[in-house]
Structure 1
Amino acid sequence: MLFTVPSNLPVKVENEFLPAELERQAVDYVDTSYRFYQVSRDFSKQYAHIYSARLNAYRTLITTIIRKKWPSHYKILKLCELREKHEKCIVIGTIFKLQELKPSILKDLSEQLEIIPQPPRTHFVHDSDSLVLEDELQRIRLIGDSIDVHQVVTGVVCAVLGSEDEDGVFTIEDVCWAGCSIQKPFPKLANDRYIVLLSGLNMASKKPDHLFSLHLLLEWLSGISGTSQYQEELSKVVRVIVAGGVFASYSDECILNESDVIASAESVDAFAAAVSAVAPLDLMPGCKDPSGIMLPQKPFHYCLFPKAVEYKSFHRVPNPYECDIAGFTCLGTSGEPLKNIMKYSNLNNRLEIMKNTLKWRHMAPTCPDTVPCTPCVVTDPFIIQNCPAIYFSGNSEEFATDVYKGEDGQHVRLVCLPDFSTSKTMAIVNLQNLECFSMTFS
């Protein structure tokens, strides 16, 4: 057993693991991820439905933004309604990128037949990439300097102002994005309240330095280390969120086989139980964890956590995950959407990508084109319906944070969570002022 709950500290209730005179501070919490739990799992449906649902949702909300941005005399037309050439109008549609290097099953078959050998790639951007705009019925090619083809990805919905020429090409003069959604007012907290964010625990790894860092983390959360004044600060940690990579890490240099991951289940359960004994814990799956690979990922099966499920403070949550903590909306993923956007564009700064997803009002636009997801029929669960106060992405190369300020006064704390197994680093966000800092255990 790698992790056990120490017995040398008094424990009165399951969320207290501090000296007798201290109590873990508590705040209101609501899991608002219902749209990820209730997503359809009917695999007999086509993926065209999710694009249709996405476009219909954006067409309603973006029309109001269009009228504020552009004069009202421009007509809003569908592609099938384009009749007169060079008539300036507005078209709402979904961007699709034509990419020469994009992986294709036909190319894979060609490789097997040794007809056209394809070199392995991790970045699929080429100078010949181009954009088209499509709606429910047809598509049209886009040209113009208003959109940089290498700064967008497939699946983003926008409105374009321009005209069609004789060749059936639409020349863009300006573009309108959906913009960041409305943000509810922040509550005012009288004292500091902290949220701990981390990812990439990689419990299947048995490296001594990694296990040592995990033990330090557990002792820190438990209040074992430090002076009484420092322990009082630790009592203000109101929640711990682990954003994927729990069993196996994204960046682990060693190739872990299935037996290693299965063997780590007992250690994962012991660690989750130890953390849940001292603070509320939300555990998200990642693409290498024993959970369905398709987004939105369902929570871990409860059978994996026979000890941790005994604690009411332990929560198995989906990926993506959204919750309300003390009146602050917290939204995030385990990092798959951002990694995919980096592969299919020249966007390489994770914080800038997160800002773009807020501007596009969509956390995973490349679903289902290059990120596997369930064939949603009625709604697109990845639309950012409410602007979060804290927006995080897990399994990054390094810790990074910034503040996104929207046009309507939105204030969002952006946090890129590093892989804990390699960086030994986690993030802490203070709800009182949304300040964020990192802490390293090594």
Structure 2
Amino acid sequence: MSLTNVTENIVQERKCIEFEDFKRFKLSKDKKYDKQYSKIYNARLKALRDVLTKNALSKWGDYKILTIKNLAELVDHHESSIIIGTIYKHQLLKPSILKEYADEAQVKSQPASKFFSTEKDNLYIEDEVQRVMLSGGHVHPMEIVTGVVCAVLGYQLDDGTFWVEDYCLPGICPKKISTIDIKSPVSTSSSSSLFSDKYSSKKLLLLSGLDLYNTPDSMQFELLTEWITGIAGNDDSQENSGSICQVIFAGNSMRGTIETFEHTGFSGPKNKYTAAAKDTILAANRFDDIVNEIVQACCVLVMPGECDPTNYSLPQQPIHPAILPKSSKYKTLNVTTNPWIGKIDDKIVAGSSGQIIRDIMKVSSLFNLSPLEWLEKTLIWRNEGQNIRLISIPKFSETQQAVIVDLETLETSTITFGSCWKGNNDYDDIDDDNRDDDKSDDDDDDDDPNKTDKFNLYSNKSMNYGIDSDNDDLM
């Protein structure tokens, strides 16, 4: 008598969601470069003037609110008053095309610098008509950047500068109480688990910095595609991967670094440049293969990064379909701009590949603040008009980590695709059925500290935000 084990086939159905690309940063064929930033600054000042007026009067009481032009009309120049305007920071180390040209022509050398802020920087506040220099120690140049709209309290000195006694910012938008806020509060505690709720319906998977140009073929990419497509893991793992309704590659997928060449003597490294171009093509083909596997099972959004093959200046335009010939055949692939804003399900999602925050960090030189903290500062400066969840995505090529976002609760968590090393690691194996619970079988290999126990997929207990100080791509 023979017995046959019958295994029930469980089919995981991936949920469909609404997707809309607002195409806000898509440039027309007739590109125009004659517009200046002044209109943008004036529009933001006009939009935030009433908010700052209310905040200033609430904080300081009944002071006169004047324009910069009206300061000269005061009888007593030392009478304190309030000015509302846009901050401009004058920086000596800020890159200039004229300085670069002078450096190249060996007229005057410009010292190379990774950061452009110094103690000698000067702050100005300007409105629609004119500007005035700020003095005093209440507004530190390293804590603020050009374009921030604020209100300052103080008086004008005899030398024409405005002495700042205090200042205030627009602040974060008032939080709107909603049904989600009451019934499903956003969790940011480390006790929350990626797999705590099997029935959580819709999730996003965010990745950045695959850097296939500098990353050899590795098991991490196979684990990534197999988990998303439902091949890897047990039933619970497949059920949770089935809840991923959108995968977002947030830039620098093909390349994570850029090689620069001087114009002088450029013919020398030309062969090296040609070889780099060939390697970039190979990296693009590898990325196309990865995306091609995923788009057959899930919707994918590909955003270009600073080093990907598209235009360098912001806004970067979508990667050309010819670079992704295999995956571009599927309607489930969306190639977008950088920055990008659109609608996924009932949520507005906006993101960039990180250049904006990195530029803010360059002109601030506050090394003790993380990219996520600078991203939070943009909310205090009110560069956004919505209640949002801030997410900083780690570089996948270095951490093998991706970020999962629950679209219902906005809860975030990280998931790692990599090898489980021997030692005291604080990891939970997702594939419980394949885990070797017999510790005695591994006793012979304990002397090798570098031995890979097995390749597996694990969830990092340290949840919430993934931060990489070298290359943060932000959603």
Q: TM over 0.5: same fold?
A: yes
Tell whether 2:396 aligns with 1:420.
Answer: yes
Structure 1: runs of 5+ lacking an equivalent: 1-18, 363-383, 391-413
CA–CA separation in structure 2 for the residues paired with 1:90 and 1:144: 15
Offset at residue 247 of structure 1 (A): 1.9
Q: Which amino acid aligns with 1:166?
A: D
CA–CA separation in structure 1 for the residues paired with 2:95 and 2:356: 17
Partner of 2:397, secondary structure, is helix
Q: Which amino acid aligns with 1:152?
A: I
Q: Which amino acid aligns with 2:407?
A: L
Distance 1:79 1:425, change over 3 A: same
Offset at residue 81 of structure 1 (A): 1.7
5 Å matches for 1:252-291? Answer: 257-291=276-310
CA–CA separation in structure 1 for the residues paired with 2:108 and 2:227: 55
5 Å matches for 1:166-181? Answer: 166-181=158-173
Offset at residue 183 of structure 1 (A): 5.2
Deviations 1:122-176 (A, max 9, x none): 0122221221112232211112333221111122121212211211111112222
Tell whether 2:116 aligns with 1:124.
Answer: yes
Residue matched to 1:386: 386
Higher relative contact order (CA 8 A, sep 6+): 1
Partner of 1:208, secondary structure, is coil
Residue matched to 1:203: 212
Q: Which amino acid aligns with 1:231?
A: Q
Partner of 1:257, secondary structure, is helix
Q: Is the 8 A contact 1:249 1:419 kept in 2?
A: no
CA–CA separation in structure 2 for the residues paired with 1:295 and 1:113: 28
Residue matched to 2:86: 94
Partner of 2:24, secondary structure, is helix
Q: What is the identity percentage for the equivalent residue pairs of Structure 1 and Structure 2?
A: 36
Offset at residue 196 of structure 1 (A): 0.9
Residue matched to 2:382: 361
Q: How many residues are treated as equivalent by the alignment?
A: 375
Distance 1:118 1:38, change over 3 A: closer
Q: Is the 8 A contact 1:144 1:171 kept in 2?
A: yes
CA–CA separation in structure 2 for the residues paired with 1:235 and 1:357: 34
Deviations 1:202-255 (A, max 9, x none): 23345133xx31121101111111111221121111221111102211499999
Indicate the larger mover: 62-71 or 199-208.
62-71
Q: Is the 8 A contact 2:150 2:168 kept in 1?
A: yes
- Of residues 14, 27, 32, the one that matches 1:24 is 14
Distance 1:284 1:74, change over 3 A: same
Residue matched to 1:334: 353
Distance 1:92 1:258, change over 3 A: farther
Offset at residue 55 of structure 1 (A): 2.8
- Of residues 222, 228, 232, the one that matches 2:239 is 232
Residue matched to 2:411: 435
Residue matched to 2:144: 152
Q: Is the 8 A contact 1:298 1:318 kept in 2?
A: yes
5 Å matches for 1:2-13? Answer: none
Distance 1:317 1:181, change over 3 A: farther
CA–CA separation in structure 2 for the residues paired with 1:252 and 1:194: 36
Larger of the two Rg values belongs to structure:
2
Q: Is the 8 A contact 2:207 2:249 kept in 1?
A: yes
Partner of 2:297, secondary structure, is coil
Partner of 1:36, secondary structure, is coil
Q: Is the 8 A contact 2:124 2:133 kept in 1?
A: yes
CA–CA separation in structure 1 for the residues paired with 2:102 and 2:386: 45
Distance 1:69 1:314, change over 3 A: farther
Q: Which amino acid aligns with 2:404?
A: I
Q: Is the 8 A contact 2:23 2:340 kept in 1?
A: no
Q: Is the 8 A contact 1:94 1:155 kept in 2?
A: yes
Tell whether 2:332 aligns with 1:325.
Answer: no
Distance 1:60 1:250, change over 3 A: farther
Tell whether 2:302 aligns with 1:293.
Answer: no
CA–CA separation in structure 2 for the residues paired with 1:109 and 1:250: 24
Offset at residue 105 of structure 1 (A): 3.2
Q: Is the 8 A contact 1:200 1:250 kept in 2?
A: no
Tell whether 2:71 aligns with 1:82.
Answer: yes
Tell whether 2:290 aligns with 1:249.
Answer: no
Distance 1:176 1:265, change over 3 A: same
Offset at residue 434 of structure 1 (A): 2.9
Residue matched to 2:464: none
Offset at residue 57 of structure 1 (A): 3.2
Q: CA RMSD in A?
A: 2.8
Partner of 1:358, secondary structure, is helix
CA–CA separation in structure 2 for the residues paired with 1:107 and 1:305: 39
Distance 1:271 1:126, change over 3 A: same
CA–CA separation in structure 2 for the residues paired with 1:441 and 1:49: 46
Q: Is the 8 A contact 2:24 2:341 kept in 1?
A: no
Offset at residue 274 of structure 1 (A): 1.6
CA–CA separation in structure 1 for the residues paired with 2:44 and 2:311: 23
